Amino acid sequence: MNSLKEIFKTKNKNLCSVFFTAGFPGLNDTQKIIEDLGSNGVDFIEVGLPYSDPLADGPTIQHSSEVALNNGINLDVIFEQLKSIKDSNKTPLVLMGYLNQVLKYGEEKFCEQCVACGIDTVILPDLPMIEYETHYKQLFTKYGISNVFLITPQTSEERIRKIDGLTDAFIYVVASASITGAKGEISAEQIAYFERIKAMNLKSTLIVGFGISNKTTFNKVCEYVNGAILGSAFIKHLDAKGVDTIDAFVKGVLD
């Protein structure tokens, strides 16, 4: 069974995930960030694969990718870092990257490395559904990997229900039709969107991302969905205060 589904069996409210960019702020910070996030109560961790053309990411995460790439990060380094903590890490990890990274690295090799690291969930925002259905579904099933689809306020009900049928991890509910970035508050328009999704009574776990930046926004979205991902706000925290104050960031959201 997918490791996230094991978590979701025992907890289905106020699920907290944190995104960070592998290799940021320092090349070798990946393991410590994962360890500290897990020890402070984060339910699952989204590991960003730095990319030179991150279409879904705002300036904060773009900057972190640029720094990480300049630090010398690449997929081989990331996989070695993740392998080094596979036996000690108890918090499920999700890889977030782009399809071109998988294609360039080699599809089979990418999947093999995921398995070697204990990764069973990936997010590829630019993976077309038709490509998933005709090719990647079979490939990922072969390796026991679950794919996470994103929905936005503009996603049709028909497509949402189709995604719900294809999902065996969670649906990534994009909070607004924009790039990533901490927005500071949840608007009435967003609440209406969350209420609409909630009323659909989907079978899948729903996790909101994009614009969740603090305890207030986290708690608000969790009134409508199962949990939320904090990304840009955490990257800013790392940039300003370093990797030794991760506990303060998590406690600021969960306590």
Catalytic option among 29, 36, 46, 120: 46
pLDDT band at residue 178 under the 50/70/90 scheme: low
Q: How far is CA 156 from CA 42, 203, 207, in A?
A: 31, 17, 18
Distance CA 194, CA 251 (A): 25
Can 66 be counted among the known catalytic residues?
no
98, 128 Cβ separation under 8 angstroms: no
Query: What are the pLDDT digits (tens) for 20-41?
Result: 999 999 999 999 999 999 999 9
59, 86 Cβ separation under 8 angstroms: no
List CB contacts of 78: < 8 A, sequence separation 6 or more: 22, 23, 30, 47, 49
Q: Does 212 score more than 60 pLDDT?
A: yes
190 CB neighbour count, 10 Å cutoff? 21
Can 76 be counted among the known catalytic residues?
no
DSSP H or E stretch at residue 21: strand 15-21
Catalytic option among 57, 133, 223, 255: 57
Say what the pLDDT of residue 104 is: 97
Q: What is the pTM of this model?
A: 0.94
Residue ranges per structural domain of the chain: 14-250
Superfamily classification of domain 14-250: Aldolase class I (3.20.20.70)
Across all residues in the chain, what is the average pLDDT? 94
Query: What are the pLDDT digits (tens) for 122-165?
Result: 999 999 999 999 999 999 999 999 999 999 999 999 999 999 99
* Mean pLDDT of the 105-118 span: 98
Query: What are the pLDDT digits (tens) for 223-254?
Result: 999 999 999 999 999 999 999 999 999 999 99
Tracing tokens 């794919």 back to the chain, one arrives at 147
